[in-house]
Amino acid sequence: MKNLYKLSGLFFFLILLLSSCGFKDIDKRSFVVGIGIDQLEQEQEGYEVTLKMAYPASETKELGNQFQLISAKGSTIAEAIRFIKAKVGNELDFGHMKMIIIGEKILTKDIEKTMDWFTRRRDIQQIALLSVGKPDAKTILSVKPKGERLPSNKLFMFFDETGTESPYVTTKFLYEFRRDLVERGMDGYLPIVESEEDNFSITTMAVIKKGEKPLILNKKETKVFNILKKSYDKESLKVNAQDQFFMLAVDSLNTSYRIKDSKKPKIKFKVDVEGTIEESKVKLRKGKLDKYNKLTEETFKKDIKKLLQKFQDTNIDPIGFGLRYRAMHTGPEKKKWKNWKDLYPEIDINVQVNAEITGTGIIE
Amino acid sequence: MSRYFYYLVILNMLANVVALVPSILIEGRLNGTVSSLMIAIVITLIYCFVFTNSMLKFPGKGQPEIIKAYMPQWFSTVYLFLLGVLYFFSTWFVLLSFIDITKRFINPELPTLYITILFLAIICPGALMGTEKTLYALEIVLIISLPLIIGIFLKAYINEHLNWDAIRIVFTHSFDAPSIDMIGAASYSLLGFYYISIYNRVLKHRLKRLGLWRLVLIGIAGVVNIFTSLLIPIGVNGVDGAGHYIYPWFSTADTMRIEFGFIERVLFIFLLLYIGISMISATITCHIGLEHVKSIFPEIKWKEIKIIPLIVVTLFSLGSILGYFLLSQIQVYELAKVFFTLLLFAGAFSCAVLLYVVRRSKQK
């Protein structure tokens, strides 16, 4: 009996050894940290794929500059990657790829087709960060910011909220973007990254709907959008009206919306904001806080309404009103979706802002 | 009250949360899943109450002994053999889906045959162990993995990118007509109490009677478990997008991240935990199947080794290896649906048989 166990143990151990061909040593791998997808200029079909590869090193000094950019052209992403494989001696490892940059021009193409490769591959993280590169992805990947510990680390820090937290930066993970592309009633959006010599600048964003031209939001709209979508509260609001000019540092911010389904359907968007005054160009009076509240509410309400109406006019819905509508009604999904598509361009949008200024800072 | 009984029930819940059951449930997410789930839970709890309490009337005895003592010979032979085959089938489904998952997510270059043999090398010796020893193995695996799995489930719920509107859409279809496929699949995850048919041998005097309150507790755990397994993938991947994934739960695990954990991608932790859970679940079902089949054959010894279990296990191994090569993924999926539905009726039958046996034992 004992012999039998030993024999079988040996047998299975030998089998384990046989499987070693699946693994390759670390020094024979190049770790892809970022990928850029650009459109080819001459032809209509096809992509130019750029990979940013980091090399494993023994010391942990500043390694931000130690990378290699290799690009190749192909009719599909997979084909371009095959060409890149022929240019690198090492095995490509996508397991650490956290940054996907899509060239601005790709957005006008059928974006779903482009994204297919990313969701199908098992070794690509679904938590990779997505963004749009302006003017193209290759430029963004080739930026060498100062003080970067690992290649592409600066970009990760922008988006995953472990580093900077800016009201202009929108974060989108790969799985979320894919979800939004497929979901009826919610459209996707991506931050736009621009390069400024040795640095990045992320202040705008693009709202993307399958099969349609993307809607590019400017700085102010991006900021308002982040407030609406994420209830982003590390924020300051500029109030400039009636010979008053002050900045409000937001302490807490809550947004919620409801779709009222009465005879005349309307979207009720409610924003509660609380904060202190951070900077003012005119002298402020303590007794006049009520007035300042009102001014804030008015300014803010105008901005929000403008943005929501812009979405409505272009028939784009990144907030997810359509999804909420579907969640509120029973019946077959097709019918609900059709109803919503008819309803959205005409629905009333009602914005309500409650501002509460708790103080004027440590001076009056 | 013995904790081992709960271990068995919990094991079956966890083991079926990831592979085939959620795929079947998610496929019908817009066609009365919720009503099917509720029906499934009620039916299974009735089975659980009847079956467990009938078994507990015979302390220290397994189902084969009971059936053999009170039923005619031809019936017990056929009945026990069929039951054994059913248990082997459920082992086979766990094994098949995990081979496929290993190939897809861990190492696609590893030949299928090696993976199969590797897994069988763990499952088969495990199943040949004594009944009590398999319980101890189960306890070790559960103590290690249960807290982490619960942690991952909780993390999924508090994920800010979880889309609750998508989840609510599933509930707008609560009152759609249920389907038998989904009832079968949902009830399958609650069938852990059947394991008592063999484990009753070692649970003697530890477990007296399954009271109503304990049944309710099991029911609550089952409801939470099955709804988690259905709703989280929908919330993460979207109500329209969730159906695109072959293994929804592994794709969902890949969307979770622990920024400051040792491993950022939860997928790998999840895979590791589920290899453990699946292996022990396969071992235990294989052990039960083996005990059932063994009981209908006379004991044959060759050099003091009981030969029947070895033959049965070898046949099962060969069958699983052949099964993987003969059936495609889609055929397995369809087969699983039929199997789960069949179990619904098999459950009613085996409860009836046991009730009859209890009556006869009282008459004697």
Tokens of A87: 């240019």
Model pLDDT for residues A121-137, shown as the tens digit of each residue: 878 888 888 899 888 88
CA–CA dist A356, A276 (Å, integer)? 9
Model pLDDT for residues A246-277, shown as the tens digit of each residue: 888 888 888 888 888 777 888 888 888 888 88
Q: Please tell me the predicted confidence (pLDDT) of residue B205.
A: 66
CA–CA dist A49, A76 (Å, integer)? 9
Assign residue B116 the CATH number of its domain.
1.20.1740.10
Model pLDDT for residues A3-27, shown as the tens digit of each residue: 777 777 777 666 665 554 556 777 7
The domain total for chain B is: 1
Provide CATH code, domain A219-364: 3.30.300.210
Query: What is the SS3 assignment for A79?
Result: helix
Contact B163 A327 (CB under 8 A): no
Domain ranges of chain A: 27-217, 219-364
What one-character-per-residue DSSP string does A199-220 give?
EEEEEEEEEE-TTSPPEEE-HH
Query: Could you tell me the residue range of the domain that residue B173 belongs to?
Result: 3-363
CB contact B172 to A (< 8 Å): yes
DSSP-H helix ranges across chain B: 3-15, 20-27, 33-56, 63-70, 73-101, 112-128, 131-158, 164-172, 180-188, 196-199, 212-237, 248-253, 266-295, 307-326, 329-363
Torsion sign (Cα): A35, A39, A45, A46: negative
Question: Tokens 């019936």 appear where?
Answer: B75
CA–CA dist A146, A241 (Å, integer)? 41
Contact A326 B165 (CB under 8 A): yes
CA-based nearest residue to A229, from A271, A195, A287: A271
H or E element, residue A50: strand A47-54
CA-based nearest residue to A169, from A139, A196, A138, A132: A132
What is the DSSP pairing of strand B305-306 with strand B301-302?
A: antiparallel
Q: Residue A333: closest CA among chain B residues belongs to which residue?
A: B30
The CA-based dihedral angle spanning residues A193, A195, A198, A203, taken in that order and rounded to the nearest 10 degrees? -50
CA–CA dist A326, A319 (Å, integer)? 14
C-beta of residue B116 within 8 angstroms of C-beta of residue B326 = no
Contact A320 B163 (CB under 8 A): yes
Please, which residues have CB within 8 angstroms of residue B324's CB and are 6 or more apart in sequence? Answer: B96, B99, B112, B116
Model pLDDT for residues A316-327, shown as the tens digit of each residue: 888 888 888 888
DSSP-H helix ranges across B238-363: 248-253, 266-295, 307-326, 329-363
Contact A327 B169 (CB under 8 A): yes
Which residues of A lie inside 8 Å of B (Cβ-Cβ)?
Answer: 1, 4, 8, 12, 15-16, 18-19, 21-23, 122, 125-127, 160, 162, 173, 175-176, 178-180, 182-186, 320, 323-324, 326-331, 333
pLDDT in tens, chain A (364 residues): 567 777 777 776 666 655 545 567 777 778 888 899 988 876 667 888 898 888 776 666 666 577 888 888 888 888 888 888 888 888 888 888 888 998 888 887 778 888 888 888 878 888 888 899 888 888 888 888 777 777 777 788 888 777 777 888 888 888 888 888 888 888 889 999 988 878 888 889 999 887 788 888 888 888 888 888 877 777 777 877 777 788 888 888 888 888 887 778 888 888 888 888 877 777 777 677 788 888 888 888 888 888 888 888 888 888 888 888 888 888 888 888 888 888 888 888 888 888 888 877 777 6
| Interface test mutation site (partner A, options B33, B165, B244, max chain A beta carbons within 10 A) | B165
